[in-house]
Structure 1
Amino acid sequence: MTLYVILFHGDLGTGDRIFSLQLRRSIEDSPWDRFQYVIFIPGLFHVKMACADAIYRLFIKHPDARVDETSLMHDISKLRPKETGIISSSPGFRRMHQVIMHAGICRRLDCWRTLVSQLDNKHATLESFAKAEPDFHTLQTLANKFTQQYVANHNLDRLRQQPAAQRDQQFENSTLLNKYCLLYEELTYAMNAGDIGRVELCLLPWIFIFRGTGKHKYASHLLRFLLDVHFLYNERLRHAVRSNWLVNPNGKMNSFRGADWCNELLNLWTKVEHGGTGSNRTVDYIIKESPLVQTYQNIRKTIDKNFLLNRLATSHTGPNMLKTFQETMEHLSKHNPHKIQPGRKTARTILDAIDRGRAMLPSGGTAGAALTSEAVDDEDEDPPANDDNLLVELI
C-alpha cells in the first residue's frame, strides 16, 4: 500500500495515457506496480476552452445559424467587424471567450431594456430607468423576472410546442444563447474566485452540453472524475484533490488558474520562447535549455523592474468597448431578439444541448440521436494552448 499519491493535472490526452497505463498494469500485485498512486485531475483551463468550443458549435459553426438578424454572428459583426470570417471558421479560444463575454453583456442589457419598458412606458431606455434610482429590492425583483422570461428553462419546450403562427423561433434561440452565456460566465467567475464547490456545480450542466455537442470525452472524463471524488475517494484524498484543482500563482484575489494553465505556460516558455530558431531548434536543445527557463523569466522580470517597465511591454489596458457596445445595443433594439413576435421564423432552430445530452447519457448516445436528424460531430481534440489562449486568463 502506498502512503502518498501524485496529483497529475492535464488535458484529455494526458488522462487517456494514465488510464491506459493503469489498465495495462492492473494485473500487477502491488499498488505501486499498478500505478494506483497516480490521480488524474482534468485541467479546468482545457475544460473552459471546451465550453467555448461547445458554444461555437451550437451558435456559429453551422451556416444557417448565422443567418438571422438576432443570431450571435450578427452581434459579432458589430463587436468584431473585421474578424467575422475568422470567427465563423476557426475563432480560437481567446476570440471566442471575448465574444461570449461581450455578447452576453450586450444581450443582458437589452433584456433589461425590454423588461423595464414593458413594466413602465416611462422607461423606454436604460438611462431613464437609471435616473429613477431604483432600490436594491426592485432590482432583485426585476432580476428574477429577467431570468424567468429571457433565459431558457422548462418553459422552452412548451413554447416550441405551440402552433407555428404563435411561435417566435428567434426569441427561443435568444433565450438559449442567454442561458449558455450565463453558464459560461458563472464557470469563469467561479474558477477565478477559486470556489471549488461552485465550480463542481457549474460543471454538471456542461457535462450534458458536452454530450449534446459531440464532445463525449470531456463528458466522460468529468463525470468519472466527479464520481470518484465524491463517492470513491476517502475524506482526506477528496480534500487534497479539491484543494489543489486550482492554483493562484500570484496570490491576488480572483486570480486562480487551472493547474494545467501553468503547465501550458511552462510549455510555451520552453518550446516557443526559449526553444531556439532555425537549425538550433532541436529536441536536444529544448531539453538542454528547459532547466533554465525559470531563470530566464526571472532575469526578464528584473530588467523590467530596473527600467520601471512594470510589465507594460506585455500587459496592456483593455480596450474601451463603450461605443462598440452602444452600436451592438442599437442593433439589438432594432431587431428585438427578446420581444416575442408571433410567427417570426428562424433559419435554424437551436436545440437545447442539455436536453440532448441528458437523453444520451443513460444509453450511451442512442436515445439522443432521435433529437436531431444530423450526425453529431464527434471531434474531441484539445485545441492548441498557444500564447493568445493563455493570455485569456490574464485579461
Structure 2
Amino acid sequence: MAVANSIHKQYLGTSAVIGSLCQAFDVLKRKGLITQSTKGPFWHNLDEAIHHISEAHFRASWLDIGKVKKLADLKSKSPRELRNLAERLFCKYASREALNEIEEMDRADRDRIYQQWTMFNIDVLPYLNLRETIKAGDIGRIEDLLPTLLFRFAGGGNPKYTIEILELFQGLHREWPEVLRYADPLIILPSFSSTV
C-alpha cells in the first residue's frame, strides 16, 4: 500500500497534464482516486488502476517497438525476436539509460510525455514485481527489491518505512544469526502441539 501511495503522490498531477495519473483516472472514469485514503476501497481501486495504466503503457510500447498495428501481429515473431524486442522495449521505455538520454537533450527538444511515461514505467515495474512476489511468497525476490523500496521511501518522504527497511537491512546483514536470516520460519517457531 505504501508503494502504491508513493506512486500516486509522485504521478498524480492534474487532468490537464498529459500522462498524469489524474488524466488516466479521468479517461478510465475512475472516481475517488484523487485523494488518498486509508478507509474504504481506495487502495484496491488504486492498485487496479495502476495495473491497468501500466498495462496500457507496456502494450503501447510493444506496438511501437514491434512496429505492428496490433499485439496479435507479434505472434508471427520467433521467441528469439520477441526476447530481443523485450530487451529493446525495456532499454527504450523503462530504463534509467533512456531517462538519462532524455534529460541530456535540450529542454526544447524533450518529449515531456515520453519522459513522464518512461519515469512511470521505471517506477511501476518494481511495484508490479513486489505485488507478484508477495502473492507467490518469494522471499528472495522481496529481499532483492528492498534497496529499490528504500530509495522510493527515502525519496518519497516516508521516513517510517525508510527506517523500517534500514533496520531490516541491519538485521539481515549485520545482527541476526544465519539461522534467523534464511531459515524456514516454521522450523524456528516453537511447536504449538506441546502446549495443547
**Deviation by residue 1:46-103 (Cα, 9 ceiling, x = unmatched):** xxx110110011011x44xx42232222222233x151xx111235211111111111
Quickly say closer, same or farther: Cα 1:125–1:239, change in 2 above 3 A. Answer: closer
CA distance in 2, matches of 1:156, 1:234: 41
Asked if residue 127 in structure 1 is aligned to residue 72 in structure 2, the reply is yes
Letter in structure 1 aligned against 2:46:
M
Question: CA–CA distance in 2 between the matches of 1:116 and 1:157?
Answer: 23
Check if 1:87 corresponds to 2:33: yes
State the 1:113 CA deviation: 0.7
| Structure 2 partner of 1:223 | 166
Question: Does 2:5 correspond to 1:53?
Answer: yes
How far the C-alpha of 1:188 sits from its partner, in A, is: 0.9
Distance 1:211 1:112 in 2: 32
Contact 1:187 1:203 in 2 (8 A): no
Instruction: Output the amino acid matched with 1:199.
Output: I
- TM-score, structure 1 length as denominator? 0.44
Paired amino acid for 1:183: P
Q: 1:197, CA displacement in angstroms?
A: 1.0
Q: Distance in 1 between matches of 2:108 and 2:179?
A: 59
Unaligned runs of 5+ in 1: 1-48, 118-122, 246-395
Map 1:313-332 to 2 at 5 A: none
Alpha carbons 1:151, 1:178 under 8 Å: kept: yes
Aligned twin of 1:169: 112
How many residues are paired up?
182
Deviation (angstroms), 1:163:
1.1
Q: CA deviation at 1:116?
A: 1.4
Structure 2, unmatched stretches of 5+, are 187-196
Point out the structure with max Rg over C-alpha: 1
Write 1 or 2 for the structure with the bigger share of helix: 2
Runs of 4+ in 1 over 6 A off after TM superposition: none
> Partners of 2:179 and 2:33 in 1: how far apart?
45
Mapped to 1, the partners of 2:185 and 2:118 lie a distance apart of: 36
- Alpha carbons of 1:226 and 1:244: their partners in 2 closer, same or farther (altered >3 Å)? farther
What residue is the counterpart of 1:75 in the other structure? 24
SS at 1:101 equivalent: helix
Which structure is richer in relative contact order (CA contacts within 8 A, separation 6 or more)? 1
